[in-house]
Amino acid sequence: MPPKQQPSKKAEQKKKEKVIEDKTFGLKNKKGAQNQKYVQQIQNQIRNNNTRMDLIKAAEAKKKKEMDDLRDVTKLIKPVEQKVQRDVDPKSVVCAFF
């Protein structure tokens, strides 16, 4: 089965503009500084939402990669303990590094 088609950039942009229009309906023509500031804030939030999410995902991926690298290094450096049965005298067992 082929992968699902992703929405185009134009469709995504139209969707963002629709959300902006819905949230700021009737506020664009107001002359007050607070209203204009609110309208600009809403527009910036909607338009920059994807870039912020991309940055967060990239940071999470980087952190996960660092943790995997650290885990690999600790596996390599971890000392090896010999597995000896309880009833065996530890002095009679030959060292693994001998």
- pTM confidence score: 0.42
pLDDT the model gives residue 72: 92
Token pair of 3, please? Answer: 């992968």
The pLDDT averaged over each successive group of 10 residues in the chain (98 residues) is: 80 85 80 87 82 86 95 86 80 76
pLDDT the model gives residue 1: 65
pLDDT the model gives residue 7: 78
Distance CA 34, CA 43 (A): 14
Spatial neighbors of 82 by CB under 8 A, at least 6 apart, are 93, 95, 96
Domain boundaries, the chain: 9-77
pLDDT the model gives residue 47: 81
| Count of beta carbons in the 10 Å neighbourhood of residue 47 | 14
